[in-house]
Amino acid sequence: MPTTRHDASIVHVDLDAFFAAVEQRDKPSLRGKPVVVGGTGSRGVVSTASYEARRYGARSAMPTQEARRRCPAGTAFLAGRHAAYRISSEVVMEVLRSTTPVVEQVSVDEAFLDLAAAGPDGLLTRLSAEEVGAHLRHEIVAATGGLSASVGLARSKMLAKIASEMAKPAGVHVVPPGREREVLAPMSVRVISGVGPATERRLRGFGVETVADLARVQLADLVSIFGEAHGASLHALARAQDPREVTTHRSSKSISAEETFPTDVADPATLATEVERLSGQVARRLEESHGFARTITVKARWHDFRTVTRSGSLPFATGDPVVISREATRLLATIETADGLRLLGVGVSGLTSHAQGELELEATLTVPTRPTTTVVDHPDAGSSPETDEKVADGAAGSGSPVTPAPSWATGADVRHERHGRGWVWGSGAGIVTVRFEGPRTPPGRIRTFDVDDPELAPAEPPDWRG
């Protein structure tokens, strides 16, 4: 393996069932019980399932309705609390940065560390790789009030991430230096960075299913099939040759595809087909660049050259064309297209080198950015166009703020003037049921109130630290 590293000094830390684990920590009545976080509606999708729920077959990206059918009565289906997850994530990243100055946060629940960057006083000079992993796990548990992590160590980023998967849940796994190819050989080609569903299907067509199969394919053949960059990368990674370093900063990049129509298009079905096609192009380019993206953008231009963009940021990184198309379709629905579009584009940004499958939420849980509308005056001959940048809040095209109707999402934090802090057990038919408990209390009592009870209000996440 061509690397200057002699030790397993790259670490991948992945928090176990993160969203569900935070909910169980903050809600003592749910500890040890099946918990599913994600979309709770009829079209919802599971984001994270606790290990108790996984025993019944619940898993990430599964329709919530299917998870409800599989899980027993009493399973908690929660809408998610991103503020609580963000706070816990920040605490974990502080722990990791106290270990080494070079930490690459991949997502809210995972990061790479370069232990070699800690210098002669670093943990690896005093502890074995296994002991380093155990130390990190202990520090995370202590700092977060009990959240567990899986830790992988290796000489490369790809192998460290694979090792953390092998360590799940709540374990430590080290890929011994010099045994990388031996570890990779029997695994599916999907473990290789940059191998998504499309690449996997093409490789299977050539009889390639395992990494060992891929390692036997000649470089020239891979380049002829996948192109110079992607083919060369597959050839190297199948041989455990991964030179990528842990970096603290990511360059800002984007990938996009757009189409200028011969005549203006207003037909919704045609525009929907075009969104799907452009999303597929973007997904293929992401796969070729070994990337995944968090932000989806739709660009539309009318006959008079007025141009708008709508962007939404997902709480997870994706390279799935279905997800990109779904989000782009949602964004396009906020744009008035009845007069016909001259141009339509789909783009992605917020790129990362790793997907975050456990953070996949339904479209209703997407966190949209403020939609930016750019109005470009049609230029006169010989003159330069003038650009007027506007930011439109609320409904598309209205330009006026919209105050969302109050809602009591299942699992949301609340406070009652007389009863104190709690969380929404359920709501409907004009009432909201609250269980009053917190991370440092025993399981609490359940009480029911009118949805417009003036003493009941949303609250910030509870502090488990005291």
Catalytic residues: 110
Helix 18-26 vs helix 82-97: crossing angle, to nearest 10? 100
- From residue 30, alpha-carbon distances to 52, 76, 147, 420, 436 in Å are 10, 8, 14, 19, 13
Q: What is the DSSP string of 399-462?
A: -S--PPPP---TT-EEEETTTEEEEEEEEETTEEEEE---TTS-S--EEEEETT-TTEEE-PPP
Task: Please name the residue ranges forming H helices in 247-394.
Answer: 268-288, 321-332
Matching residue, tokens 């296994």: 130
Give the alpha-carbon dihedral of 374, 379, 382, 386, to 10 degrees.
Answer: -40
- From residue 276, alpha-carbon distances to 48, 309, 366 in Å are 27, 17, 19
Strand 10-15: give its sheet, edge to edge.
103-107, 110-114, 10-15, 149-154, 172-174
- Do you find a cis peptide bond into 371, omega within 30 degrees of 0? no
- From residue 171, alpha-carbon distances to 152, 186, 248 in Å are 9, 22, 25
What distance in Å separates the CA atoms of residue 305 and residue 375, rounded to the nearest whole number? 8
User: Which residues are paired to 173 by β-bridges?
Assistant: 152
The counts of H helices and E strands in the chain are 13, 20
What distance in Å separates the CA atoms of residue 324 and residue 351, rounded to the nearest whole number? 13
* DSSP character at residue 32: T
CA neighbor of 84 nearest in space, from 16, 12, 23, 164: 23
